[in-house]
């Protein structure tokens, strides 16, 4: 199919996003606007200078800038504006459902209350459902570079908000911070009724993916690229139909892959893995959902049917009831019948 035809197909394709960090959707323009109203001086002269700093050789290069960027967020309204901007963008790209990570420790370490972040994000999600018709779930991520006690205290704070938080996850600097470090925290989270996910195999070895499955009991693996190095792990993931939330432009910008043509998504599909496509930190990595779908469609020459299956996987892997999944999948099917 001609590229512009695939572009059009992807643009209108109903999609679910299962891996997006709300703090990673903070566009430079909004960062400057919030910094100004909060009386915070940014170490960049302009939006352009800030964007020019988005050149990363590895995950940690990005994280250093990401944590600094979220430092402008102080008030409930800041978190609302951040989340609302993401939801409008997602809706404009035919994202029908989003499962959104937030990093409360990135805020509480700066003296911003857990509730300030949660209340602002939550109010925007409610407005997103009412005014945009976009459904959303919230996933609390623990920062793995901090210790397990800090994560446990954060879990304590989340217990009062089981009605708002569907799952807990694990993100930040992967190497040197294996999932097993958080086994007790995840055991408790599951006992309290939270679902669990974890970033694993982005930079870390296959052993970290095994640990996420066996020690943390995760329902999905975020990234999972390096699972391909271990045949037994691939067989396990395929047999269990464990969803991988793959993030192509993130992988390119963080040098997890050298070239989009070398992205492992096609190999993952070939080897029977249950993959989804997601944006991770779209403001930092050069694209939201449509740009991620287009990037892999183009570089890996994916067919319309393959792209439709990836979109279907997104709804299937969502933390929704069977009835909710069926309602969203029906919209996908209606689109495919008309496209």
Q: Provide the annotated active-site residues.
A: 202
> Which range touches Zn ion (CB under 5 A), out of 63-71, 208-216, 272-280, 325-333?
272-280
| Residue closer to ligand ADE, measured from CB, 76 or 171 | 171
Can you say whether the dihedral through the CA atoms of 165, 31, 57, 258 is positive or negative? Answer: positive
Q: Which residue sits closest to ligand ADE, CB atoms considered?
A: 171
| Residue closer to Zn ion, measured from CB, 27 or 281 | 281
CB of 280 to ligand ADE, least distance (A): 5
Q: Which does 172 bind (CB under 5 to 8 A by kind): ligand ADE, Zn ion, none?
A: ligand ADE
CB of 224 to Zn ion, least distance (A): 11
| Residue closer to ligand ADE, measured from CB, 142 or 315 | 142
Q: Which does 84 bind (CB under 5 to 8 A by kind): Zn ion, ligand ADE, none?
A: none
Q: At what angle do helices 3-12 and 289-300 cross, to 10 degrees?
A: 150
CB of 171 to ligand ADE, least distance (A): 4
Are 316 and 219 contacting, i.e. CB atoms less than 8 angstroms apart? no
Q: Show Cβ contacts of residue 24 under 8 Å, excluding neighbours closer than 6 positions.
A: 66, 280, 281, 282, 283, 284, 285
Q: Which does 83 bind (CB under 5 to 8 A by kind): Zn ion, ligand ADE, none?
A: none
* Binding interface with ligand ADE (CB under 6 A): 21, 24, 59, 66, 171-172, 199, 202, 250, 280-281
CB of 285 to Zn ion, least distance (A): 10
Angle, CA 261 vertex, CA 258 and CA 267 arms, to 5°? 100
CB of 146 to ligand ADE, least distance (A): 12
Tokens of 203: 């930079």
Q: Which does 59 bind (CB under 5 to 8 A by kind): ligand ADE, Zn ion, none?
A: ligand ADE
Site string for Zn ion, 275-314 (x = CB under 5 A): -----x----------------------------------
Binding residues for Zn ion, total number by CB under 5 A: 1
Per DSSP, the chain holds a count of helices (H) and strands (E) of: 17, 8
Are 63 and 173 contacting, i.e. CB atoms less than 8 angstroms apart? yes
CB of 199 to ligand ADE, least distance (A): 5
Q: Does 203 bind Zn ion (CB under 5 A)?
A: no
| Residue closer to Zn ion, measured from CB, 74 or 82 | 82
| Residue closer to Zn ion, measured from CB, 28 or 282 | 282
Could you give the CA distance from residue 245 to residue 242 in angstroms, rounded to a whole number?
A: 10
Tokens of 326: 């069926």
| Residue closer to ligand ADE, measured from CB, 254 or 332 | 254
CB atoms within 10 A of CB 78: 23
Output the DSSP codes for 237-295.
Answer: HHHHT-EEEE-HHHHHHTTSSS-GGG-THHHHHHTT-EEEE--BSHHHHT--HHHHHHH
Could you give the CA distance from residue 117 to residue 129 in angstroms, rounded to a whole number?
A: 19
Tell which residue, 281, 285, 275, has the closest CA to residue 19: 281
Tell which residue, 319, 285, 290, 282, has the closest CA to residue 86: 282
Binding site for Zn ion (CB under 5 A): 280
């Amino acid at each position: 199919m001609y590229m512009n035809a695939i572009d059009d197909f992807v643009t209108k394709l109903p999609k679910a996003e299962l891996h997006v960090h709300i703090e990673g959707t903070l566009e430079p323009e909004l960062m400057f606007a919030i910094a100004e109203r909060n009386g915070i001086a940014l170490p960049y002269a302009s939006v352009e200078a800030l964007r020019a700093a988005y050149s990363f050789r590895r995950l940690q290069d990005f994280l250093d800038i990401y944590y600094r960027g979220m430092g402008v967020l102080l008030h409930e309204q800041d978190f609302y504006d951040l989340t609302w901007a993401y939801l409008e963008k997602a809706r404009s790209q035919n994202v029908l459902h989003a499962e959104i990570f937030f990093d409360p420790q990135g805020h509480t370490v700066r003296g911003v209350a857990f509730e300030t972040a949660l209340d602002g994000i939550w109010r925007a999600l409610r407005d997103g459902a009412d005014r945009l018709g976009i459904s959303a779930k919230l996933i609390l991520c623990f920062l793995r570079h901090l210790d397990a006690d800090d994560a446990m205290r954060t879990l304590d704070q989340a217990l009062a908000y089981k009605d708002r938080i569907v799952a807990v996850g694990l993100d930040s600097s992967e190497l040197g911070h294996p999932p097993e470090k958080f086994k007790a925290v995840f055991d408790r989270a599951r006992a309290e009724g939270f679902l669990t996910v974890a970033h694993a195999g982005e930079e870390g070895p296959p052993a970290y993916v095994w640990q996420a499955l066996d020690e943390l009991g995760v329902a999905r693996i975020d990234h999972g690229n390096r699972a391909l190095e271990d045949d037994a792990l691939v067989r396990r993931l395929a047999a269990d139909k464990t969803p991988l939330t793959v993030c192509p432009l993130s992988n390119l910008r963080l040098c997890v892959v050298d070239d989009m043509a070398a992205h492992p998504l096609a190999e993952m599909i070939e080897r029977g893995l249950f993959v989804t496509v997601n944006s991770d930190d779209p403001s930092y990595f050069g694209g939201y959902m449509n740009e991620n779908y287009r990037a892999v469609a183009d570089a890996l020459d994916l067919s319309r049917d393959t792209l439709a299956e990836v979109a279907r996987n997104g709804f299937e892997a969502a933390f929704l009831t069977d009835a909710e999944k069926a309602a969203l999948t029906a919209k996908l099917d209606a689109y495919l019948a008309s496209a």
